[in-house]
Amino acid sequence: MKRNSTIFSNKKLVIANWKMNPGTMTEAKRMLSDIKKGLKGSRGVEVVIAPPFPFIYPLEKLASRSKIKFAAQDVFWEPKGSFTGEVSPKQVKEAGASYVIVGHSERRKMGETNQIISKKIMNASKEGLGVILCVGEDKRDPGGKYLSGLQSEIKESLSGISGGRLSTVIIAYEPRWAIGKSAAEAINADELHAMSIFIRKVLISNYGKGAGASVPIIYGGSAEPSNAKELSFDGINGFLVGHASLIPAQFLNIVSAVKS
């Protein structure tokens, strides 16, 4: 799929979601350095690392001569003020992030609603950040109600985003039943293909064929070296990788699988 009208390159994306790992800056630097070495000379895939907030700035400095980009794992919607513990879109941008992950299922579990997510997306997008919006069903029911749930998640989370702004958004389809498991328990290629078509239809019905057809859709939920190749087909623009991104060799294998 051509993605000329987005702010993103036409490359596939592989995003490392480190979550609240590793425990120390020393380890984080070592992981980055292993990834950097492994990527030397490799082209064709955009690699993004989403470390914990305090690691973004030092890692971005270390990575400066590589093509690796950085993402924050969350963001607040206000630009500044008395919001203890929160971080604004501008602040994550200043720290060196080009992207933010919004609406991850682990944050939704802590009470984040589509309305909150919508405000975060609007303000991060206005700041010029690429927004990785996570959506996905908890479980599947034989009647297919999970599809309407997923549709509402997409529509409500994007409610403040106009067709013009949609070019800053990436959809990360992450079925929650597949997160933190193993490749054997993840989605299979046929199911993912069907879901990518469903999500594309929702986007096109909301935004029309131009903007709706251009949004990158990536997959997350136990993406590992062993399933990355079969899940990397035309309608899927890359992966959001959790546990496998904590082992640089595994992460690099996923990047290679996406490239080939």
Strand 45-50, strand 69-72: pairing: parallel
Helix/strand/coil for 74: coil
Q: Return the range that interacts with ligand PGA (CB under 6 A); candidates 30-38, 149-157, 225-233, 236-244.
A: 236-244
State the burial class of residue 210 (Cβ atoms within 10 Å of its Cβ: 0-12, 13-18, 19+): exposed
- Residue 74 interacts with ligand PGA (CB under 6 A)? no
Terminal-to-terminal C-alpha distance of the chain: 17
Q: Is the peptide bond before 51 cis (omega within 30 degrees of 0)?
A: no
Which one is catalytic: 104, 127, 137, 243? Answer: 104
- Residue 232 interacts with ligand PGA (CB under 6 A)? no
Full 3-state SS string of 134-183 = EECCCCCCCCCHHHHHHHHHHHHHCCCCCCCHHHHEEEEECCHHHCCCCH
Site for ligand PGA in 159-218 (CB under 6 A): 174, 179-180
Find, among 161, 45, 216, 181, the residue nearest to 105 by Cα. Answer: 181
User: Total binding residues for ligand PGA by CB under 6 A?
Assistant: 13
Site for ligand PGA in 240-259 (CB under 6 A): 240-244
Site for ligand PGA in 8-37 (CB under 6 A): 17
Which one is catalytic: 46, 137, 153, 174? Answer: 174
Considering the complex, state which of residue 15 and residue 28 has its C-beta at the smaller distance from ligand PGA: 15
86 is catalytic: no
Site for ligand PGA in 209-228 (CB under 6 A): 220-223
Considering the complex, state which of residue 93 and residue 243 has its C-beta at the smaller distance from ligand PGA: 243
- Residue 127 interacts with ligand PGA (CB under 6 A)? no
Q: At its nearest, how many Å lie between ligand PGA and the CB of residue 241?
A: 5
Q: At its nearest, how many Å lie between ligand PGA and the CB of residue 220?
A: 4
Strand 130-135, strand 238-241: pairing: unpaired
Q: At its nearest, how many Å lie between ligand PGA and the CB of residue 111?
A: 17
Strand partners, 102: 133
Task: Give the integer Cα–Cα distance in Å for 207 and 138.
Answer: 26
193 is catalytic: no
Amino acid, res. 168: T
- Residue 122 interacts with ligand PGA (CB under 6 A)? no
Active site residues: 104, 174
Residues that bind ligand PGA (CB under 6 A): 17, 174, 179-180, 220-223, 240-244
